[in-house]
Structure 1
């Protein structure tokens, strides 16, 4: 690996399956990326992480904790949120039928934000449910 490319680092943190998880996740992603001087946009990472965690809390029924996984990559960062519901998140990979969310509604724009602001996003089935993820590119050009 070239000397100017940071080594990979990752964190895996259990969060409560409650609305308290959202501000905790925001603080964790902000602190983790700042502590390692991550090359990704911290504000965007914080916003999209909050959206994933809020969706996991709101749309899954479980007393089990959800899990936040942050991985620093040489090309940016990847964030995953794991929950116990294997059902895919509707509207993450493609817009829902009927077009974009109604701007007057309180909900419905989180997955649009993730699709728009991340360099890639998706979901995968896990042994205990699913992981929903996004990646952000490095803000600094790689040599």
Structure 2
């Protein structure tokens, strides 16, 4: 599921790139940026799902990577939907992002469902190494016009 990186594709699509603090305060900022990016162009990807999955990626980057350096959020609007990437300084892969885990998540645990949500709700997801760590990404498809809220 590791698809082409943003840098591997022509950049004719609108995109946003922002450095975020390596703190939990980055989560609402990231959600707001995704919501704004999708609304400004009246993009047809599901913004609620995009916000949720972005929050999961950013929260994971903050919680599971060391250091105080910023993490980076990249939102790209594509003709087929949108792609969101979160760059962090840790080169280690993000757990079981691209392969299902065995068994159900423990319903009594507070953590452990983020990657499941990303795998389940995105059209594709993956990770790739970068010069400074890794990028974890997901894609959402365009929502057909008849299914969009009014």
CA distance in 2, matches of 1:121, 1:20: 24
Q: Does 1:140 align with 2:144?
A: yes
Structure 2 residue ranges without an equivalent (≥5): 1-11, 146-150
Q: Does 1:119 align with 2:93?
A: no
Q: Does 1:22 align with 2:7?
A: no
Q: How far has the Cα of 1:81 moved from its partner? A: 0.1
Q: How far has the Cα of 1:103 moved from its partner? A: 1.3
Cα deviations by residue, 1:8-50 (Å, 9 ceiling, x for unpaired): 1101100000000001101111111111111100000000000
Q: How far has the Cα of 1:99 moved from its partner? A: 2.1
Q: Which runs of 4+ in 1 moved over 2 A?
A: none
TM-score normalized by the length of structure 2: 0.86
Q: Does 1:85 align with 2:90?
A: yes
Task: Please report the RMSD computed on the Cα atoms of aligned residues, expressed in angstroms.
Answer: 1.1
Q: Does 1:103 align with 2:103?
A: no
CA distance in 1, matches of 2:45, 2:79: 10
Q: How far has the Cα of 1:137 moved from its partner? A: 0.3
TM-score normalized by the length of structure 1: 0.90
